[in-house]
Amino acid sequence: MSIKRHIPNTITLLNLLCGSVAIIFAFKGWQLFAVYLIFSAAVFDFFDGFTARLLKAYSPIGKELDSLADLVSFGLAPSLLIFFRLSSFVQSNPTMPAILATLLPYIPLSITLASALRLAIFNTDTRQTNGFIGLPTPANAILIGSFIHYTVFNPNLDHLFENIYFYPLSALFLSYLLVSDIPMFSLKIKSLEYKANKDIYHFAALSILLVLPVVIFGAKWSLWLVLTFIMYILYNIIIRLKKLVF
């Protein structure tokens, strides 16, 4: 059996390894290291598909393995990051009813459940060969990881998010986007043709423009990622609404 057939699956396993260690780091309270590992998992997730196409090493096992790795790295790992962040805010609010303080931190685990459902749908949905229906799990994880990273370096923003309902409601909204029927374009370019990648080129141009306010205000680079992936969601929603209206 050719060695090259195992290369994409090996890269996928590196994705899974990063996600697994990110979970361990989340339990230890090492938020930044967990975020960096989620980002690393996203890099491996990109290159396993790229390598499979390059080497023509597709396999049913590779497809299933990719989904299993994505569930850990982009479903469970970011859910736990929010869980621990929300738990710390809840613990700092002694006036909160005990049952609410106990249950609220578990709501972000809806992202894990929605990610599992989304990946199962993706594996059986023939409509998602060139794009996505619903928010891709890596995009969701990068958005969450970037947000956690940015707020760690900007504790002056904590007062905005210490509202105990911010994280649960945000998690539920992202969970909805994961399993929604909103078409979202893929960020993976298969050719340089403008017509086939029009949305990607427009999105790339807008995301480059977002660098300016980040640089001008001297913000952390993670703010650019937060703004970019929020724009990705809004861009696709606007396209969907335009098609429904016109």
pLDDT at 229: 94
In the chain, the percentage of residues whose pLDDT exceeds 90 is 52
99-158 per-position pLDDT tens digit: 888 889 999 999 999 999 999 998 888 777 777 899 999 999 999 999 999 988 887 776
Single out the residue of 18, 20, 119 nearest to residue 66, CA to CA: 119
Residue at 172 is within a domain: yes
Distance CA 39, CA 65 (A): 19
- DSSP H/E element including 190: none
Residue at 199 is within a domain: no
Residue at 240 is within a domain: no
Residue at 228 is within a domain: no
pLDDT at 180: 94
pLDDT at 217: 81
pLDDT at 56: 77
Q: How confident is the model at residue 191 (pLDDT cuts 50, 70, 90)?
A: low
Distance CA 64, CA 9 (A): 10
97 CB contacts (<8 Å, ≥6 apart)?
none
Domain of 74, in residue numbers: 3-184
Residue at 53 is within a domain: yes
Which of the two residues, 186 and 177, has the higher pLDDT score? 177
Angle at Cα 114 formed by Cα 112 and Cα 118, nearest 5°?
115
CATH number of the domain encompassing residue 104: 1.20.120.1760
User: Is the pLDDT reported for residue 92 higher than 90?
Assistant: no
Q: Give whole-number Cα distances, 164 to 63, 134, 142, 245, in Å.
A: 38, 27, 22, 36
Distance CA 107, CA 170 (A): 10
Residue at 224 is within a domain: no
Residue at 117 is within a domain: yes
Q: How confident is the model at residue 161 (pLDDT cuts 50, 70, 90)?
A: low
Angle at Cα 191 formed by Cα 145 and Cα 122, nearest 5°?
50
- Average pLDDT estimate for 176-200: 79
Residue at 160 is within a domain: yes
- DSSP H/E element including 94: none
pLDDT at 54: 77
58-84 per-position pLDDT tens digit: 778 888 899 999 999 999 999 999 999
The total of structural domains in the chain comes to: 1
Residue the block writes with tokens 């700092």: 92
